[in-house]
Structures are given as structure tokens and as C-alpha cells.
Amino acid sequence: MNSELSTLQKVDASLKRRLRKEFLFRTTGMLATAVGVVFLAVFFATLIGKGSSAFKQTYLLLDIELSEEVIAPDGEMDLAYADFDGLVRTALRRGLPEASGRSERREMNRLVSIGAGYQVRDLITASPELLGTTQTLWVPAAANVDMLIKGNIDAELDESLRPLSDRQIAWTEKLRIDGRLKSKFNAALFSNGDSREPELAGIKGAMMGSFFMLLTTIILSFPIGVAAAIYLEEFAPKNRWADLVEVNINNLAAVPSIVFGLLGLAVFINWMALPRSAPLVGGLVLTLLTLPVIIIASRAAIKAVPPSIREAALGIGASQMQVVFHHVLPLAMPGMLTGAIIGMSRALGESAPLLMIGMIAFIVDVPGGFTDPATALPVQIYLWADSPERAFAERTSAAIIVLLAFLLLMNLAAVLLRRRMERKW
């Protein structure tokens, strides 16, 4: 029967079928993309919704009398043992005179962070001439007060079910009406190390830890990775050994990161006796982790250099080395850098290998070098996510936002760098 139809009719018939198939395929693709976009939007919305409040922190205004009797009882300043917390408590009592009795006062004292005492100590250390005066200071409120102000504690709940008592809520309200309560930018988040008190906890320690670690990683892994890629691509004899090396590099790229942590623990800490929890060791482990990625990306970039350029240089009498350094490397560099930055992004987000080399410790001091005990941003997120305090939840989200911002910046740098180097011709 078919043979009676003209070619045109056959084409028409098949065209309908083809168009339907194409429509189906397009719709599926659009749906898949839409699902991805929705998930991403939800992810960012919840993250920013939960985390953005951590960039603000509630502060209390207190008139603190820097009394000589407390700070310098014997005429000389006793910064180590003086009762700075007592000064803060006295000032708070002056603001809320209605509290009476020991237990009520103790409740009242919990409105202010213990960081207030440190703040007073730091102030008097920096300017001893203030001794004997009364200073009006904004000191951090306790995390629970902060949570109440941010609406994270439900005042309608039964008293036994919330961390703040009725009295504390009433005092907070009074302070707020008096204008002694204010929400300010949470500078502590970026200038402090970790702390058991959420209102004092910051990510500077983790950021510096990550910084020193990534610095170690990039300094080691980029030159080693590129050198290995050049050797394997351009100089190594193509034999069974080269195949073996190639297979192993590809396998290494797929090894779970925690295994590299175990390797680091065994080699760098136990055998080479490098310090535990140090960014140096973390950087070395992350170097092992990123090397395969960089080598594979660099080899691909070298392979992508057109052979005609190589032949042209060889034909003029360039040595193998000159071909590589004058022609292949400049053309492969954008691809290599992209690979390196992708490797770095992966290293920045790694936490599992760091757990094995002691970078999961609770470290309060901000590290100042490669061998100081430190932790890293993803590990800090992990630690905070584990904390029961309500206030750590928003700080966890805030730390994730900071981490993502860094990742985004690095990827942006990769794109810009690539575009700049490729624009050459």
C-alpha cells in the first residue's frame, strides 16, 4: 500500500512523528531544568532566610563604673583576677532595679553575655586612664535574649518549655523600651574564633585555617600537578608503565577523601611527626586530594593544543622543551588554571580528611601560621551544626553562606582568568 503514497506524503507522515518526539524531548528537558532551578531556589531561600539573621546581633547598653576598688584593690591593676563580670552585673542591676533576691538576680545576670566582662577587661587594658570613670558601653546580650529579639523563641510557650523565664522576658522588654537594647552588625562573627557561647562564636579562626590550608595546597599541588602532566603527556615513553601510572591517577581521583585523611595521619603525623590539627598537614592532605584532579585537567588541556602548532615549532628546529614551554604551555594554561581552581574549590569544601588529622578540635584562638592548631570552614559548620544551642543554628547557616560565597568567588576567578588568557587572540 505504502508504495502508492508519494515521497512527499511519506515525509509528511514521518514529520508529524518526528515533531512529536522533539516536543516531548524538549518538554522533558525543560521540566528537568525547572526542577533543578526550583531546588536551587529553595536551597538558597532557606539558607539565606535562616542564616542572614546571624549577621546581626543584639547588644545591651550598660553604664559600667570602672571602680578602682574592684579593678585595683591594692592601688595596682589586677587584670587577671579582678571581677569584671561583677562590674557588668552591678551596671545591669542599676538598669533593672526591680530584681530582688539572689535567684532573681542570677536570672537577670543571664541576660548579658560573659563576653561583656572580657570587653571591660580589654577596654581597661587598652586605656588604663579610664580607671575610676563610668563608661557607657554596648556589650553583647546573651544568646537567648538575641534569639528572643529575633523571634526564634516563642514567648507564648509555657515557661518550662523555653530557655527564658517570664521575668527575663519582661526585663528584656523593659530594656528594649528604655532603648538599652539594639541590633547591630555582628562583627564578632568575623573577628572571633570559635566559642562555647554562640554570641561570641566567630568564623575567623576557621577562615584563617582554611586560608593557610589552601595556600599550602595551591603552592604544592599546582606546580607538581602541571609538571607531572607535562612529563606524562610530552616526555614519558608510552609503554606499560605509563598506562599503569595513568590508570592509577584516574583511580586516585575517585578515592574517597577520608582515605587521604588516613594516609595523612599515617604519613605526615605519625611518621613525619608534623603537628596535629595544623593547616600545614591539612594542606598536604588536600594536595594529595587535588593532585589527580589537576593532573587530569592539565593533561586534557595539553592534549587539546593543536598538533599543528607542535609540528610547526618542531619543524623550525625547536627542541622538545622549547615546544612545550613556548607553545604548548601558553595555550594550555587557561585549561590548567581552571582545573586547579576546580581542585581548590573541592579542597575548600572538604571536611572528611580533616577529621582524621585532628582539625576537628574546638579551637578558640585564631591561627596565625601554618603550624598553629586550626580548624577549617566546613569542619566549623559541622561542629556548629552539632551544637544544641538554638543560636548556633543560624550561625551554621551563616557559615555556610560565607563558604558558598568563597566558592562562588573562586569559580568566578576561574572564569575571568580563563577569559582573559583566551582573549589573547
Interaction residues for another protein, span 229-268 (CB under 8 A): 237-238
> Least distance to another protein from the beta carbon of 319, Å?
5
The one among 47, 153, 274, 309 contacting another protein by CB under 8 A: 309
Phi, psi of 237 (to 5 degrees): -65, 140
With H, G, I as helix, E, B as strand and everything else as coil, classify residue 5.
coil
Residue 155: exposure state from Cβ atoms within 10 A (0-12, 13-18, ≥19) = middle
Phi, psi of 183 (to 5 degrees): -95, 120
Residue 130 burial (CB count, 10 A):
14
Q: Give the bridge partners for 179, in sequence order.
A: none
Specify the stretch interacting with another protein by CB under 8 A; choose among 82-90, 145-153, 301-309, 407-415: 301-309
Interaction residues for another protein, span 192-221 (CB under 8 A): none
The one among 322, 371, 387, 411 contacting another protein by CB under 8 A: 322
Phi, psi of 401 (to 5 degrees): -60, -45
The one among 317, 386, 388, 423 contacting another protein by CB under 8 A: 317
425 binds another protein, rule: CB under 8 A: yes
Residue 6 burial (CB count, 10 A):
8
Kindly tell me which of 77 and 318 has the beta carbon lying closer to another protein: 318
319 binds another protein, rule: CB under 8 A: yes
Kindly tell me which of 285 and 323 has the beta carbon lying closer to another protein: 323
102 binds another protein, rule: CB under 8 A: no
Kindly state the helix (H) or strand (E) to which residue 140 belongs, with its residue range: strand 134-140
The residue type found at 375 is T
326 binds another protein, rule: CB under 8 A: yes
The one among 48, 220, 252, 314 contacting another protein by CB under 8 A: 314
Please tell me what DSSP assigns to residue 2.
Answer: G
315 binds another protein, rule: CB under 8 A: yes
% helix, strand, coil for the chain, step of 5: 70, 5, 25
> Least distance to another protein from the beta carbon of 237, Å?
7
Which chain residues interact with another protein by CB under 8 A? 237-238, 306, 308-319, 322, 326-327, 330-331, 424-425
